[in-house]
Structure 1
Amino acid sequence: MAPTHFLTILLIAATGMTDAAFSQEAKDPPAYVGTDACIDCHTAEYEDWTGSHHDLAWTEPTGANIVADFDNTSFTHRGLTSRFTEEDGTYYIESDGPDGQITKWPVAGVIGIEPLQQYFVETEPGRYQSFDVPWDTVEQTWYHMYPDQHLPASDAFHWTGPYKTWNNRCAECHATNYERNYDPRNRQYSSTMSEIGVGCEACHGPGAAHLAWAETESQPDDWPWDGLSDFGFTIDYAPGDAETEIQQCAACHARRGPFLGGSPVPGTPFHDAYRLSPLRSPHYHPDGQILDEVYVYGSFLQSTMYQKGVVCSDCHDVHAAKHHLEGNGVCLTCHSPAGNPDFPSLKIADYDTPEHHFHESGSEGAQCKACHMIERDYMGIDGRRDHSFRVPRPDLTIATGSPNACTDCHATEGPYWAQAELEKRFPESEYRGPHFATTFHAANQGQVDVSANLLEIAMAETMPGIVRATAMELLQPYQSAEVADAVVPALEDADPMVRAYALALQRAAPATEMVPRLLPLLEDPTRLVRIAAAREMLSAPIARLPEQYQRPLSAATSEWQSSLAVTADFPETHIVLGGIGLTTRNIASALASFREAVRIDPQMAQAWVMIVRLEAATGNEDGARAALAEALAQLPDDPGLLSLQAQLP
């Protein structure tokens, strides 16, 4: 296939986003019928779900749902006062809008219930923005989620900016059967959903076929219908199938980028719908502990619990969205002298004792989660726990700066004290050996060549897949033909993340070896890998492919195109499209893409740098200077832009 064929396909996404990108080859799933249709037969589950965080993830702005004080109250942050009022049953927020002017909007939706309740408004037809001043339901007061920020309305992280748009950053996980429906031609949303809140069908799938089955006296001859379970669902939570449940929960409880334009149909494998964030900075600490708001899945994949087959519902009541037991009880279900026959490899021991935790029984320090699930606050006051279930490693704090549970409480004593205490109390511990954290930390610092260590981690089959994939991403600055050869076995690894990240390391291989390695993965069973293969084939120096590879290449490229098309409201997408324009030497397309990136996010420095460089490279020095002036108006202290300023005549 000639390289121009890639240009023909991919520039559709860059310039027009054809509707063909949204076509479906698979048979349409059954219709969604709504939670109310489930109540008569599933009363107990409905009662557990009612009032849960899933039920109240998104509610209408009524007096029954709003718990904040809208009785002409106000909150002042860095000199800006926002007001909250109610008039004839309509609730209003008055604050600085997209143009910086004080504006009054009716509340359009309510988000959550505790420990905070947030609100969003409609700033233009169809576009909803999450307001940064929520209600603290514990302290009964307004507060700012980002108290250290002082952002003008022109900043992308202002509450009216692209990173606070409810339609594309939040709504999918707060609704059932959500479709973003962004039209890049007029830059407007017409988002839809079957139901606000996380209803029954958000996890169990569309219910029309199940209702038909339940209401039929005798089972139809052609039952189950194509692609459905014996009960008429698109997903089957069969005992012993841990991955189905975990990946369904992960669809929302993960830091990830979407391939689709809204909620995947329940039962869709995670890596067919999303690209999971690896353990990169600034999302994770070097040892894989949570840093930014990464939710749960990336942590859990690192854990021994995951490796041993523990699933979300072992600890959480999935309908009530609460733990099965309180305190240490949920952990002691397995980690006790009685053990748990479902997990025969468990070490039988008494953990709920001062001989293990060295704290007074019943105290905060005696809680399993205090040591093995560090908690960090996000959104100002919302505590989230790390689900990697790790043993505290003060030695890694000393070596890499990663936190540890001991000095979370004993900050004054510090990590050297904590390490000495652990060595004294657990002299034979197996948790003080080498750790990938030291290599990841060194790679993030970029001060030494750690490629050999990264390669060892990447190819260590005993390591969690997300760790190995991260090592491969960190290996990219060290690409070579030797590295490409070394990771070839990983192209057949069982973990889709490992296969996908191994693909990127083939760029340094000779073309005669790279292309044959990429081609089989164009037909990989997982969309994540197929898209990665299509992306790498874009720059492959080939003039023509044999006929048998034309169809899989076209199909995988179309999937990539579709994933770009449905995320056209993300500035990150236009950075990718700009890169495609550069690779295919379509400078006009690259410029248009980088321009759209800075239109959405005016502070996206890398896009401004590319605009200035491309204008200068094409001889448009006036355009380069004008673009640089625009960029410096947004980012006056950016070192890359200041360097360009010194270079331009």
Structure 2
Amino acid sequence: MRFDALFLILGHFIVHPANAQNSGSYAGSTQCVQCHTKEYEAWEASHHRHAMEPANKSSVLGRFSAQKLDHALVPAIPFAKGGTYYMRLPNKDGRMEDKPILYTFSFFPLQQYLAETENGRLQVLPWSWDARPEGEGGQRWLQLYPHAKETSSAFWRGPEQNWNFMCSDCHSTNVKKNFNSENRSYSTSFSEVSVGCEACHSGMARHVEDKQLGSFHNVTQVSGPKNRLDLSARVKQWHFEADNPTRQPQQKSETDQHKVCFSCHSRRLQLADGQAVQSTEYFDRYLPSLLDEPLFFADGQPRSETFIMGSFLQSKMFEKGVSCSDCHDPHSGQLVAPEPQVCTQCHLATKFATRSHTQHPTSEKSPLCSDCHMPSTLFMAVDARKEHSFRIPMPGVSAAIGAPDTCTSCHVGKTQQWAQAKLDHWNQNNSKNGEASLLFFLARRSDPAALDGLLTMAQSPGENTMKRAAAIAYLANYKDPRIPEVLTKLVRNKNHFLRLAVIKGARNLPQQTRWHVVEPLLSGRSLAIRTEAASVLVEDWTALSWPQKEQLAPALAERIATLSFNSDRAFSHLVKSEASLAQGYPNTAKQQIERALEVEPNSEEAHVARAEFLRSKGKSQEMWEALVNSLKLRPDSATLNYLIALEQYRRGDLDGALSSFKASTQLAPEEPRYWLALGLIQSHLGQKQSVSSLHRAWSNDRSAPYKNLLCQTQKKFRNKLSSPCSLDEPF
């Protein structure tokens, strides 16, 4: 069989990933109480226990009293009838329809509700119950996305509110998504509706059976591959050393605890079905996010919901060996001691719980350790979640990079400069610790001044792993002969985060160089690394030799399998479309784009992909008509406005193009190419505002092309706006 034909076949079949395995037998949490009474009782009151429950009198907290909830987009009436809870909502045709509530979702500080819409699809309903006490603003119905329209992914019938894809893996035990891509239906199943004992300990039926037969096994040693899952802390004993007020690890050993916790407490893409704890390797089941924009600020603070791991891995505490269970009881989820005692387990109170350290009066109203070192971010309107990198406040650095800081979150009305001046006065200037933050701030803008620092950090074994990974990934923004050499050395590193970053950093290298750097990762031991390596190498398919195609084939088959697993989302079909185009199969690529639009009719990315595909085939009129229709559906899309503007410019409609380019910059003010396009057309029309627009573009991307265009335009208009070039500079 010709290899090209073989590869086309691979695009049409689901190939099961290597880590897909039998889930084993699950006994249920109620089987644990007889022997593990203390742990079971702690779990009974936990958020894990109440992560998801059948909707009934004992689980529902909301007031289903037929109160009319007024809202312009989604009015509702929650009510109960015959022991069943309902929410009356407008359907797609605008008629009010009663939705039976099947499950509650969490319980504090917010309880959400699930209902089935069609084809086994469970959706989070638009109104949630604020479970906080009335004195704290709770005991009310709340709309989390009050401005989400029908076409928004955050609308209650949209993909972001779909339980099967977005929520099920972490809110129930032993979940099988079971999406049928042919009829776009779900048959999602679970062993236990909430996060039960076996969500962390894996299937315990054998353990229960052995206990009944009198052959007892340690619960931490009977699950997982080769019966070696170890959920203990990484450090078994801590001790104080002379002149050091912080406990140090006696010995550190890797266990499976973090891999199990991080399987849910991380921002990641699921790659395959099967309970996470069946594989002790996180990267065999998930593809994690690095410190990517827009998820994180340049200093590593979360900008969006990132679920702990990305923050915690940045911390010195993780590097020292601190485990989740050192601070949190794994069964109740609560702190093992009240604050600040949980902190003074390791940090001497005589040193750290003092006025000289906190610079705040010692009283009942004194800030806690977490107030300064674990700033909270408000998610879901009422849920303040602590950041886990345990950072030292650096308000001066925060001001420079546009990030929040913990000082001014308490001292409302004060500036970050005021806060930094206070730290300087107390001889607590920690700006040196912010060098990485400033470096990443520049790297995100492709500023040449950051390159040497990135190369140094990428090669520094003593640097924090997540920061090293970020530095490596940012190398993709630069062209420099040193980059391939550095990436080639890093490929041999055993750390998965660094290897993943190498793939990201190599993405923009020349084809042959990219192959040389990334090829060793095609046979790596982790699914996420192999499939990501395949994703960047398939882009060069037509330029690859026959042996290279054969070498790429197995990892690409696994890549296709992970995409097929996520075929309930548009992105999976769009990635397949790109791969098909790279392989020279435009008809298959077109079909995948059509499937993406079937799965998510309002997907901005799918509408953009369709327009760009039509243009690549020379079908400019079809592309124009598609863009016009897409923009009617998604007027909030910056990319669609930008593509409309480009086509208007090609058609000679300069006024229309100017208006559309302006719209794209208003919708996505941080995107440099939109400002660049706006500045160029303004310059063409003789408008001096072009200098301001091009300066905004250069502010967001400081690479040479942006600088050169800014300087040329500034000279043209003799504008005095501050910029990286002088009016006297020769051109």
Relative to the length of structure 1, the TM-score reads 0.89
Aligned match for 1:75, one of 57, 62, 69: 69
Q: How does 1:520-539 map to 2 (within 5 A)?
A: 520-538=520-538, 539=540
Residue 187 (str. 1) matches residue 188 (str. 2): no
- 2:276 alignment partner, SS class: coil
2-structure distance, mates of 1:80, 1:320:
36
1-structure distance, mates of 2:611, 2:511:
32
Q: Deviations over 1:229-278 (max 9, x none)?
A: 6xxx5622245444410111011111111111353244432111111111
Give the C-alpha shift of residue 532 in structure 1.
Answer: 2.1
Aligned to 1:545: 547
Counterpart of 1:613 in structure 2: which amino acid?
A: E
Aligned to 2:346: 334
2-structure distance, mates of 1:210, 1:364:
49
Contact 2:67 2:77 survives alignment (8 Å): yes
Aligned to 2:624: 625
Give the C-alpha shift of residue 228 in structure 1.
Answer: 4.9
Provide closer, same or farther for how the CA distance between residues 238 and 636 of structure 1 changes in structure 2, counting only shifts above 3 A.
closer
2-structure distance, mates of 1:65, 1:218:
37
2-structure distance, mates of 1:105, 1:40:
39
Counterpart of 2:158 in structure 1: which amino acid?
A: G
Provide closer, same or farther for how the CA distance between residues 10 and 287 of structure 1 changes in structure 2, counting only shifts above 3 A.
farther
For CA contacts below 8 A with separation 6 or more, give which structure has more relative contact order: 1
Provide closer, same or farther for how the CA distance between residues 598 and 290 of structure 1 changes in structure 2, counting only shifts above 3 A.
same
- 1:143 alignment partner, SS class: strand
Aligned to 1:436: 436
Contact 1:353 1:361 survives alignment (8 Å): yes
Contact 1:97 1:153 survives alignment (8 Å): no
Aligned match for 2:331, one of 292, 304, 319: 319
Aligned to 1:60: 54
- 1:65 alignment partner, SS class: coil
Deviates more, 1:129-138 or 1:168-177: 129-138
Give the C-alpha shift of residue 40 in structure 1.
Answer: 1.4
Aligned to 1:343: none
- 1:76 alignment partner, SS class: coil
Contact 1:181 1:190 survives alignment (8 Å): yes
Q: How does 1:301-312 map to 2 (within 5 A)?
A: 301-312=313-324
Q: How does 1:136-151 map to 2 (within 5 A)?
A: 136-138=130-132, 139-146=138-145, 149-151=146-148
Deviates more, 1:305-314 or 1:447-456: 447-456
Q: How does 1:211-610 map to 2 (within 5 A)?
A: 211-217=208-214, 228=225, 235-238=229-232, 240=234, 241-261=253-273, 263-336=275-348, 350-427=351-428, 432-446=432-446, 450-479=450-479, 481-506=481-506, 514-538=514-538, 539=540, 541-545=543-547, 550=550, 553-610=552-609
Counterpart of 1:350 in structure 2: which amino acid?
A: K
What is the percentage of aligned positions where both structures have the same residue? 29
Contact 1:234 1:265 survives alignment (8 Å): no
Aligned to 1:643: 645
Aligned to 2:152: 155
Aligned to 2:729: none
1-structure distance, mates of 2:504, 2:5:
21
Counterpart of 2:408 in structure 1: which amino acid?
A: T
Aligned to 1:346: none
Provide closer, same or farther for how the CA distance between residues 318 and 255 of structure 1 changes in structure 2, counting only shifts above 3 A.
same
Counterpart of 1:611 in structure 2: which amino acid?
A: R
Aligned residues: 620
Q: Deviations over 1:21-69 (max 9, x none)?
A: 2376776353111112212111111111112100000000101110110
Q: Deviations over 1:520-557 (max 9, x none)?
A: 322212222111222233225332228xx95x744322
Contact 1:9 1:561 survives alignment (8 Å): no
Provide closer, same or farther for how the CA distance between residues 563 and 463 of structure 1 changes in structure 2, counting only shifts above 3 A.
same
Contact 2:446 2:478 survives alignment (8 Å): no
Contact 2:566 2:572 survives alignment (8 Å): yes
Deviates more, 1:161-170 or 1:268-277: 268-277
Superposition misfits of 4+ residues, deviation over 6 angstroms:
224-227
Counterpart of 1:518 in structure 2: which amino acid?
A: V
Provide closer, same or farther for how the CA distance between residues 442 and 5 of structure 1 changes in structure 2, counting only shifts above 3 A.
farther
Deviates more, 1:621-630 or 1:190-199: 621-630
Give the C-alpha shift of residue 359 in structure 1.
Answer: 2.0
Residue 110 (str. 1) matches residue 107 (str. 2): no
Contact 1:95 1:104 survives alignment (8 Å): yes
For structure 1, the residue ranges without an aligned partner over 5 or more in a row are 13-17, 338-348
1-structure distance, mates of 2:435, 2:535:
32
Q: Deviations over 1:441-481 (max 9, x none)?
A: 22334566633333333333223222222233332232555
Give the C-alpha shift of residue 353 in structure 1.
Answer: 1.6
Aligned to 1:204: 201
2-structure distance, mates of 1:102, 1:495:
54
Counterpart of 1:634 in structure 2: which amino acid?
A: L
1-structure distance, mates of 2:295, 2:270:
17
Give the C-alpha shift of residue 433 in structure 1.
Answer: 4.3
- 1:317 alignment partner, SS class: coil
RMSD: 2.7
Relative to the length of structure 2, the TM-score reads 0.79
1-structure distance, mates of 2:104, 2:284:
30
Aligned to 1:340: none
1-structure distance, mates of 2:597, 2:646:
17
1-structure distance, mates of 2:328, 2:278:
19
Residue 127 (str. 1) matches residue 139 (str. 2): no
Deviates more, 1:495-504 or 1:429-438: 429-438
1-structure distance, mates of 2:623, 2:83:
53
Provide closer, same or farther for how the CA distance between residues 201 and 475 of structure 1 changes in structure 2, counting only shifts above 3 A.
same
Provide closer, same or farther for how the CA distance between residues 82 and 446 of structure 1 changes in structure 2, counting only shifts above 3 A.
farther
Contact 1:364 1:370 survives alignment (8 Å): no
Contact 2:115 2:122 survives alignment (8 Å): yes
Aligned to 2:31: 37
- 2:24 alignment partner, SS class: coil
Aligned to 2:239: none
1-structure distance, mates of 2:632, 2:528:
38
Contact 1:204 1:234 survives alignment (8 Å): no
Provide closer, same or farther for how the CA distance between residues 601 and 439 of structure 1 changes in structure 2, counting only shifts above 3 A.
farther
Contact 1:261 1:567 survives alignment (8 Å): no
Aligned to 1:15: none
1-structure distance, mates of 2:555, 2:520:
11
Provide closer, same or farther for how the CA distance between residues 27 and 607 of structure 1 changes in structure 2, counting only shifts above 3 A.
closer
Give the C-alpha shift of residue 494 in structure 1.
Answer: 2.6
Give the C-alpha shift of residue 364 in structure 1.
Answer: 4.8
Provide closer, same or farther for how the CA distance between residues 3 and 330 of structure 1 changes in structure 2, counting only shifts above 3 A.
farther
Give the C-alpha shift of residue 424 in structure 1.
Answer: 1.4
Counterpart of 1:59 in structure 2: which amino acid?
A: E
Provide closer, same or farther for how the CA distance between residues 203 and 257 of structure 1 changes in structure 2, counting only shifts above 3 A.
same
- 1:324 alignment partner, SS class: coil
Provide closer, same or farther for how the CA distance between residues 25 and 529 of structure 1 changes in structure 2, counting only shifts above 3 A.
closer
Deviates more, 1:404-413 or 1:631-640: 631-640
Provide closer, same or farther for how the CA distance between residues 412 and 513 of structure 1 changes in structure 2, counting only shifts above 3 A.
closer
1-structure distance, mates of 2:536, 2:339:
49
Contact 2:175 2:191 survives alignment (8 Å): yes
Give the C-alpha shift of residue 566 in structure 1.
Answer: 0.5
